[in-house]
Every structure is written in C-alpha cells, then in structure tokens.
C-alpha cells in the first residue's frame, strides 16, 4: 500500500500547486511564495503533514535546482557574460556590498557564526532574475533606458553566484583553509574551462548536442546537464553551478529549443523544490524570526533601491528611471532559497531556514508590488524628467534629417547576435535616370 500512499500524496501536492499557480496567475504575482506556503502547510508541524513521498520530493528538489540554474545559464551567452563583467563591474560590486551587508551584519549580531553570516549575506544579496525579468516585461519597461543597467546587474549577480556557491559549499562542509582553497581552485578552473569552451568552441558543444528530433534533444540535454551537475558535486563545486555552466555553454538556436523543451520540466521540479524547502521549515519556527525578517526585508528594499539608483545613474539615466531600476531589483526568490536550502541541509542554524523563508515570502510579494507602485509614486511626487538627453550616443551626434539622396545608413555590428536579422535603413529611391 506504500506505493499507493506515495502516489496519492504526490498527486495531492502537484494538484495543490496547480491550484495555487492559478491563483498566482489570477492576481499576476509570482507563484514562488505560494509554493513556499504550500510546503509550509504540508510539512512537519503544518496542517497536513506528509511523510511517505519524502524521498521522491527530495530528489525532485535536487533536480529542480539543477534545472533552474541550467535554464538560467541558457538565457545568457558566454559573450554577454564577459561583456557585462567588463562594463558593469563597478555597479555590480556596489550591488554586492550594499545588499550582502545587512545579512552578514544580522547573522553576526545574532551570533550565528561566520558561516551563517556568509549564507545570510548571499540570501539578502541576490535578486530573483526570473521575477524581475517577468515584472519588467509585464510593465512594458524593456524599452526603458535603465533596463540594460538592470539586466547587467542581474547577469553580474548570476556570475557572482557561480563563484559564491562553491565557496559556500566548502564552508558548509567545514573544510579547512587548505581544503577550501583547493575546492575554490578546482571550481575556478572548471568555470574557466567551461567559459573557454563556450566562447571558443561553442560549435563543438552544439554539434554534440544537435539532435534529429526534440525527444532525442531533450534526453541528451537533460542527461548532459544532470551528469555535469553530478560531476561538479563530486568535485565539491556544487551541482547548481555545474548546471549553470552547461547552460552557458549552449547558445544560439539550440539553446532556444532546449529552453522550450525543458521549461515544463523546470516548472514542475522547481515547484517541487520550493515545496521541499517549505516542508523542511516548521511553521512554528516562523513567528520568532518574523521581526528580524521584516527588518531585513526593509533593509533589502532600501539597499536594492540604492543599487538600482547607482547602476542607472552610471548609465546616464534621470531620477525616474533610477527609481524604476531600484524597484525592479527588489524581488528575491529562487537563488535565495537555493542558498538557504544548502545551508539548512548542512545544519548551520535552525533559525536560518525559517528566516530565509519569511524573507523571501515578504520580498517575492513586495517586489512586484513596489515595481507596480513606482510610476504612480513618481507622478504623485511630481518627479520631473530631466529635459536633457542622457545616454551615451545622444549628446555627440546631432541628428540630421536625411536629405535627398543621402547614402544608406547601415546599422552594423549585427553579426555577433543570433536570431536578429540584418537591419537596413532604406533610403528614398533616387529620381530615375541616376545610376
């Protein structure tokens, strides 16, 4: 009868997630906080404790993290990552210092020890790129001038995660300084090799993965990702980072197809992961940490607003856009829970899990609301746009009206971008009789 119980429980969980997802869509909020709540409800000390399907859920959670990171890696090309590092490192570093500080400070003040401080710093630092990108798309902000700055921050954060997760894994394993340094060396070497392969020999990877049918492609990509993730885990680099790097190594049309194929799987297993985290958090533990979580949430909003302000100002954007950039960066979600999950499974501090859960719940819900409210706030406060023309390419060039018979203006530099056809500015045809 054990199998039957498992099926019943699993079915109940997934169905409940579906219903919650419908609620999330109805109110156009991110489903992540709802999944966490579902996990809290089903978990130990919740209203409906489950027991039988623990094993499957924990493996599913593992796969969920890997797929989350893999699809995140697919979003970027190696070229974009390197380019972002070159151009927006100052803003990215400011974002890191500003946002990790409250977490580190709170952990130290509460006397949780340095390892918990590193974990909590990571939890308060990372923006949820998934929620942010969706909110910006929903609000029609993609064309805004501050958007590239915001996206660069997200890329920088994801790269920072690729370096941070191995460090955290080493610290949690209680590795000595020497062992930790070795781990980091291995991690750095792995990341470098994968980036090098992706940048220089992307063709080889693609040739290996290219498949006659979608079915074959799905199996190949999923197998490769899980395999690399497992090997990375073996090398103490953390499975998530391995998966992220596989995603980066794939680019172009292939990445696009892979993303479409894996999206449903990722959605399922990522939901299982959030539930799993909730299952392991005792709702009874939440009230004692609510105060601290609220404090951190307020600090987290303030620091992200500052980060966005700084990044947008560097891009030459006026006050309105700077506020929008900050608001877009507020949501926290996937990565924060991934970090908390790692820390909790290694038993850093029993309070850390509930604190992270409460923090993410608050900011995953507050973030999109703040983003929606920022434009009305600007209008209410009457923040005037600057009449000047910010932006790099605007000031130096006056824009002449095309006179008759001006030669075609070509937009060049298109070659390095996939899927974007050449753009040709077509001039007026000249008067006849003029070759």
- The single-letter DSSP state of residue 424 is B
Nearest to 277 by CA among 357, 168, 358, 197: 357
Letters for 74-103 (x = contact with another protein by CB under 8 A, - = none) are -xx---xx-xx-------------------
Residue 148 binding another protein, by CB under 8 A: yes
Residue count, binding to another protein (CB under 8 A): 60
Residue 390 binding another protein, by CB under 8 A: yes
- The single-letter DSSP state of residue 237 is S
CA-to-CA separations, 283 to 6, 49, 297, 348, 349, in angstroms, rounded: 23, 12, 19, 18, 16
Residue 314 binding another protein, by CB under 8 A: no
Residue 181 binding another protein, by CB under 8 A: no
Task: Give 427's contacts (C-beta < 8 A, 6+ positions apart).
Answer: 402, 405, 406, 407, 408, 409
- The single-letter DSSP state of residue 111 is T
Rounded Cα–Cα distance for residues 42 and 49 (Å): 5
Residue 381 binding another protein, by CB under 8 A: no
Q: Specify burial of residue 60 (Cβ count, 10 A radius: 0-12, 13-18, 19+).
A: buried
Site for another protein in 117-146 (CB under 8 A): 129, 133, 140-146
Letters for 334-373 (x = contact with another protein by CB under 8 A, - = none) are ----------------------------------------
Site for another protein in 225-264 (CB under 8 A): 256
Closer residue to another protein, CB minimum distance, 262 or 275: 262
Closer residue to another protein, CB minimum distance, 58 or 87: 87
Q: Which stretch binds another protein (CB under 8 A): 152-160, 194-202, 211-219, 303-311?
A: 152-160
In the numeric block, which tokens belong to residue 235?
């090398």
Torsion 20-293-244-229 (CA) sign: negative
- Choice from 99, 147, 336, 349 touching another protein (CB under 8 A): 147
Residue 395 binding another protein, by CB under 8 A: no
Closer residue to another protein, CB minimum distance, 188 or 319: 319
Residue 434 binding another protein, by CB under 8 A: yes
Contact 165, 240 (CB under 8 A): yes
Q: Which stretch binds another protein (CB under 8 A): 36-44, 54-62, 318-326, 361-369?
A: 318-326
Q: Specify burial of residue 159 (Cβ count, 10 A radius: 0-12, 13-18, 19+).
A: buried
CA-to-CA separations, 360 to 109, 141, 202, 203, in angstroms, rounded: 21, 24, 36, 39
Q: Give the interface with another protein as residue ranges (CB under 8 A).
A: 75-76, 80-81, 83-84, 129, 133, 140-148, 151-152, 154-155, 256, 317-318, 320-321, 385-387, 389-394, 397, 399-402, 408-409, 411, 413, 417-420, 423-430, 432-435
């Amino acid at each position: 009868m054990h199998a039957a119980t498992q099926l019943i429980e699993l079915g109940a969980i997934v169905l409940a997630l579906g219903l919650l997802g419908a609620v999330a869509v109805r109110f156009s909020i991110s489903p992540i906080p709802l999944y966490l709540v579902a996990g809290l409800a089903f978990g130990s000390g919740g209203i409906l404790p489950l027991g039988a399907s623990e094993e499957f859920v924990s493996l599913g959670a593992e796969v969920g993290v890997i797929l989350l990171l893999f699809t995140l890696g697919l979003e970027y090309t190696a070229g974009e990552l390197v380019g972002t590092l070159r151009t927006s490192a100052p803003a990215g570093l400011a974002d890191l210092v500003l946002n990790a500080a409250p977490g580190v400070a709170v952990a130290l003040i509460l006397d949780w020890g340095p390892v918990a401080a590193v974990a909590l710093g990571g939890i308060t630092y990372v923006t949820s790129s998934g929620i942010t990108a969706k909110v910006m798309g929903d609000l029609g902000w993609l064309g805004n001038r501050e958007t590239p700055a915001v996206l660069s921050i997200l890329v920088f954060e994801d790269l920072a995660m690729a370096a941070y997760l191995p460090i955290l894994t080493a610290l949690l394993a209680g590795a000595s300084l020497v062992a930790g340094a070795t781990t980091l060396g291995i991690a750095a070497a792995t990341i470098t090799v994968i980036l090098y392969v992706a940048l220089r020999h992307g063709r080889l990877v693609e040739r290996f993965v290219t498949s006659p049918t979608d079915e074959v492609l799905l199996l190949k990509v999923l197998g490769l990702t899980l395999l690399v993730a497992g090997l990375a885990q073996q090398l103490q680099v953390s499975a998530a980072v391995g998966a992220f790097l596989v995603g980066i190594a794939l680019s172009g049309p292939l990445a696009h197809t892979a993303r479409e194929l894996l999206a449903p799987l990722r959605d399922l297993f990522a939901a299982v992961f959030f539930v799993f985290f909730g299952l392991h958090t005792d709702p009874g533990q939440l009230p004692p940490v609510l105060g601290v979580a609220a404090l951190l949430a307020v600090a987290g909003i303030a620091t992200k607003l500052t980060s966005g302000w700084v990044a947008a100002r560097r891009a030459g954007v006026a006050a309105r856009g700077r506020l929008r950039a900050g608001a877009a960066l507020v949501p926290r979600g996937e990565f924060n829970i991934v970090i908390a999950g790692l820390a909790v499974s290694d038993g850093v501090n029993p309070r850390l899990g509930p604190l992270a859960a409460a923090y993410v719940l608050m900011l995953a819900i507050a973030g999109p609301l703040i983003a929606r409210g920022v434009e009305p706030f600007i209008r209410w406060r009457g923040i005037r746009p600057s009449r000047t023309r910010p932006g790099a390419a605007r000031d130096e060039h006056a824009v002449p009206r095309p006179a008759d018979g001006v030669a075609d203006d070509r937009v060049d530099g298109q070659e390095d971008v996939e899927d974007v056809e050449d753009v040709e500015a077509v001039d007026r045809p000249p008067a006849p009789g003029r070759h």
